[in-house]
Structure 1
Amino acid sequence: MPGFDAEQSGGIVSDLAASLARGTSRRTFLQLTGVSGMAFMLGLGTSPTPVFADGSLPKDPFTLGVASGDPLPDGVVLWTRLAMDPLDPDGRGGMPDRDIEVSYEVAEDKGFARVVRRGSAVATPELAHSVHPEVSGLRPARDYYYRFRVGEHISPVGRTRTAPEAGAMVPLLSIATASCQAWYHGYYTAYRHMADEVLDAVLFLGDYVYEYGIVAGGNLQRDVDLGDEHSAEVVSLAQYRLRYSLTKTDPDLQAAHAAAPWVLSWDDHEVENNYAADVSVRGTAKETFRNRRAAAYQAFYENLPLRSVQTPSGPSVRLYRRLSYGSLADIHVLDTRQYRDAYPAGRVIDDSEERHAPERSILGEDQERWLIDGLRNSRARWNLLANQVVMSQINRDTGSGRAFSNDQWDGFPACRDRVLAAAAQREQADLVVLTGDTHRNVAAELKKDFDDPDSATLGVELVGSSISSDMDGRASDDLADIWLQNPHVQMYNAQRGYVRCDITPEAIQADFRVLSYVTRPGSPVKSLTRYTVARDRRLPYLDPRGLR
């Protein structure tokens, strides 16, 4: 598959088919994938044997919308999840306990006069009636439209776009980054504006759902009545499924998914706040926490446009991957949560010696090696990191001391130094790190030595704010002085929104798009500022023409 790591993408479906043909047991498949192998292949539309699946349903099952993801030069993965009653407390979406056949069409036009691919997949109860057909045989760098059908019910139409072919000269790549969308903290108006933009892809950088209980009169900012089943913290598979269903009923989120393919990673709230690998910050027993992680990872897969290589195997998923956009950009999608070392001494803010231990990694040994090799061997003009937590050093002591958040890359400075050293080996500065998590807009320089303002700049970090988390926000807040005392931080803002990046061979133009409010619907959007990152310079510079 051009554009994907060959080691990641080869053989999984065929291996499963071969295993089924040999009569491998259902239990073996459950150990391998977290669900039965048959359910897995039915959802992809690759079952080796015909399976009868009744497609008659009394109500519209497409209440959670449609989506596409991880574009390659010859295809994309499509997604939908059937849910006649998406907020049924058991998390099953009001669906019957049987398989449902789902057909799909891919066309070159919105009216489906020029259909180029047709197929079907089977939505099974084991995967919450989700399907993930991987469509191939498409042309590179083209818009396509898709839809699903179950019986007489037809889904909304989605637009997707394939990646350019390997090595192709690409004049422009337009992407947006998004993260942190606590449903209960406000409306997804940012996604309505994002859906109106013409984008090649959306990079989602973590915290698609939050695990906290939703309490009326407490954290709930939307004008809606919810049942008591939403008030408990999410720990089981049924609860995670229900939380995704609640989140995905939002029409603005559905519109953004239907407008462009998404490339997704996760951070902590998809499982539990501030967890590290199999360590819960609450001291939960590891076996218990692994079970919770397995449930969370399965629900993540069920509800998002992910390929077969992201199918969970119990509490493990290889989510890090690399996508290429011709000769213009390599996008390295990171997972900074699943493999990281635990916090030094269990403290989130600490400048202990343990923090500086050379063996500590936020990526884990295998992923760190994969990233460093990818940076060193990349032939693209830009290397983009789809990154979850802030990479720049942020000293949080406003006096003469030093304090750092060990939940961010500051908790792993030796790992950060190794990654930046790999980027520095390239002839020209081309590293741009795209980050979420902080609920703030930040532009910063990535320094060879963060304690020396005159040190070489090895890359740029663009941190996008949250979609809704932390509610309305404002232009500045009581954390601004902490961030801006660090000389490599050039901009700080605490409003909600997203970042749009227009990438050309010569420069990246990043617009920080912000909203005035999210606790009620309808906010307008504006560009707070525009940063231009040029390949012939070591520093980003603020373009005054971008201010409006």
Structure 2
Amino acid sequence: MTRLYKPSRRAVLAGGTAFAASLAMPAISRASSRPIFTHGVQSGDVDVSGGMIWTRTDRPARVMMEVSTTESFADTRHLAPIDAVPSRDLAVKRLVEGLPSDQDIFYRFVAADLQDVNSVSEPIIGRFRTAPAARRDVRFVWSGDTAGQGWGIDADGMATYATMARHQPDFFIHSGDTIYADGAMEDEVALADGSIWKNTVLIDEKRKVAETLDEFRGQWKYNMMDDHVREMNAIVPTYYQWDDHEVVNNWSASKDLTADDRYTEKSVALLQSRAAQAFHEMSPIRFTPQEPGRVYRKIGYGPMLDVFFLDLRSYRGANTENVQESVSDATRILGQEQMAWLKRELAQSQATWKVIASDMPLGLVVRDGDTKFEAVANADDGAAKGREMEIAELLRFIKTANITNTVWFTADVHYTAAHYYDPNKAQFQDFEPFWEFVSGPLHAGTFGPNALDGTFGPELKFVKAPTEEQGVNLPPSAGLQFFGLVDIDGATQQMTVRLMDRADTELWSVTLDPMQAAI
């Protein structure tokens, strides 16, 4: 079933061709006598009564904003303007609150040149739907890994975004590696079959690794030069996470760039600070007043769904051999504050389904070199050690607190899989069974499959990854680009998870029945 929004003729006329402009605008600003919106619009972190909206101009400008429940903007509500200024790279975003639930919301931006207030842009329009206050069908998609391993915008563009948009999901979870700041690109790449991959769109910021703030910003702007990305952004809210490639591959306190000749800036902490600023400027992630740079958060999407977005990057100890037998700062991956927040929010959740959106998988072995580990698992199949101890603590809490219907969604490993965690097959057994679903890449090299660690008893139910004959780092043109499609039925509250590929082929699916909490 296709539910893709298409603006009516009335909407196009009312918006001064605005919505059409948001779908077919130039990827980068051209010389103009009046302001131009350079990279489309985005919305994100939408809940029952509000959401974030975002855009960017080509010059310092005062950006006027309005929202409406009709595509004609007959009932328009004007918001206070925000100035697009160089200190924020001319990007503006705001939280729109006080919106009706389960309602299509149209938002419109108009920019006036700060040097000439009579020089006014054409309007640009986006759309999202607020979460329901009562039960109804809910659909979302998730995946990760955009523009990695040197595979940039080719003649087909980032086609997986177009495939996802055709399902018109309520929202999209980008599970991390939203950019590849450490992934310099070339104009052409020779493929194994003798053909040539051509990055038909490149900018200077993508020809080297990102070190300066402007270079990190450029990584984001590059992705939004793709037609498919901008078209989906205009109609589907995105809920962003981050992982390592937003900064540098496998970054933690142990990351050492001394011998990496690509970098003149060797401080990973400084690179992280610049990357975090660009992440928050260029995405419609909500502000957290108590901790402005915070990525972990909860979004309530009506009575059937709460989504808990984890940050396994910012609070971790250094990557090590990951076999410590006692808890310390060295074994943290969530960190004490995030763990306390997650326990509290899970315990308070009244939603049927508690989706835990994790930027890294739990049971898959992800290495950092020959002896260190990047994710949770340590490949010893034994009792919980290292970072596994923190996850064991969380799983034990979920069981003890009688928290039902937790499902994990993740990306990172560049293939798709379904894992069922069974305490009867685990070394650590003090938890209730749960599912973990893996998807990606969106537009990056395809790898895998990774080994599973037996500590938490994961059972492989499905996997789609390159064969040994195909090799690794397959380009997007090979077709092994993946996303997940999730439907929650408003009547039965069942959750159906489908693993999909770029061609929109359903590879595997499962329908989960909601459990009732014990009294």
Q: 1:413 to 1:483 in 2, by over 3 A?
A: closer
Q: 1:116-515 maps to which residues of 2 (within 5 A)?
A: 116-151=77-112, 152-165=120-133, 169-182=134-147, 184-186=150-152, 187-211=157-181, 212-218=183-189, 221-224=197-200, 226=202, 230-276=206-252, 278-282=253-257, 288-309=267-288, 317-344=293-320, 350=321, 353-354=323-324, 356-359=325-328, 360-392=331-363, 394=365, 406-410=373-377, 412-427=387-402, 429-448=404-423, 451=426, 457-470=432-445, 473=446, 479-480=448-449, 482-483=451-452, 488-494=459-465, 495-504=480-489, 506-515=493-502
Give the AA of the match of 1:502.
D
Q: 1:225 to 1:177 in 2, by over 3 A?
A: closer
Q: Deviations over 1:133-179 (max 9, x none)?
A: 221221012111112112442344211122234xxx42322111121
Tell me if the contact between 2:347 and 2:403 (Cα under 8 Å) persists in the aligned partners: no
Pairing partner for 2:36 from 56, 61, 83: 61
Give the AA of the match of 1:62.
F
Q: Distance in 2 between matches of 1:109 and 1:174?
A: 22
Tell me if the contact between 2:202 and 2:222 (Cα under 8 Å) persists in the aligned partners: no
Q: 1:308 to 1:469 in 2, by over 3 A?
A: same
Number of aligned positions between the proteins: 435
Give the AA of the match of 1:280.
K
Q: Distance in 2 between matches of 1:102 and 1:481?
A: 47
Pairing partner for 2:52 from 77, 83, 101: 77
Give the AA of the match of 2:88.
L
Give the AA of the match of 2:187.
A
Tell me if the contact between 1:392 and 1:445 (Cα under 8 Å) persists in the aligned partners: no
- Residue in 1 aligned with 2:507? 528
Return the offset for 1:189.
0.6
Q: TM-score, normalised by structure 1?
A: 0.72
Tell me if the contact between 1:429 and 1:459 (Cα under 8 Å) persists in the aligned partners: no
Tell me if the contact between 2:188 and 2:199 (Cα under 8 Å) persists in the aligned partners: no
Question: Secondary structure at 1:295's aligned position in 2?
Answer: helix
Q: Deviations over 1:193-233 (max 9, x none)?
A: 22222222111110111022212344994442646553221
Q: Normalized per residue, which structure has more helix?
A: 1
Return the offset for 1:71.
1.4
Aligned-residue identity in percent: 23
Give the AA of the match of 1:255.
E
Structure 1 gaps of 5+ residues are 1-55, 84-94, 345-349, 397-402, 516-523, 539-548
Give the AA of the match of 1:58.
S
Q: 1:228 to 1:145 in 2, by over 3 A?
A: closer
Q: Distance in 2 between matches of 1:392 and 1:453?
A: 12
Return the offset for 1:449.
6.4
Q: Deviations over 1:495-514 (max 9, x none)?
A: 21211111235321011110
Q: 1:33-44 maps to which residues of 2 (within 5 A)?
A: none
Q: Distance in 2 between matches of 1:188 and 1:353?
A: 40
Question: Secondary structure at 1:294's aligned position in 2?
Answer: helix
After TM superposition, the structure 1 stretch with the greater mean CA deviation from structure 2, 488-497 or 182-191, is 182-191
Question: Secondary structure at 1:362's aligned position in 2?
Answer: coil
Give the AA of the match of 1:335.
D
Tell me if the contact between 1:193 and 1:525 (Cα under 8 Å) persists in the aligned partners: yes
Tell me if the contact between 2:254 and 2:319 (Cα under 8 Å) persists in the aligned partners: no
Q: Deviations over 1:48-106 (max 9, x none)?
A: xxxxxxxx9625522211011111322111100113xxxxxxxxxxx3xxx41011221
Q: 1:506 to 1:116 in 2, by over 3 A?
A: same
Tell me if the contact between 1:391 and 1:408 (Cα under 8 Å) persists in the aligned partners: yes
Q: Distance in 1 between matches of 2:111 and 2:364?
A: 51
Q: Distance in 2 between matches of 1:252 and 1:481?
A: 30
Q: Distance in 2 between matches of 1:309 and 1:245?
A: 24
Tell me if the contact between 1:279 and 1:286 (Cα under 8 Å) persists in the aligned partners: no
Q: Distance in 2 between matches of 1:487 and 1:387?
A: 16
Q: 1:133 to 1:455 in 2, by over 3 A?
A: closer
- Residue in 2 aligned with 1:521? none
Q: Distance in 2 between matches of 1:270 and 1:309?
A: 20
Q: TM-score, normalised by structure 2?
A: 0.76
Give the AA of the match of 2:327.
P
Return the offset for 1:128.
0.4
Tell me if the contact between 1:392 and 1:461 (Cα under 8 Å) persists in the aligned partners: no
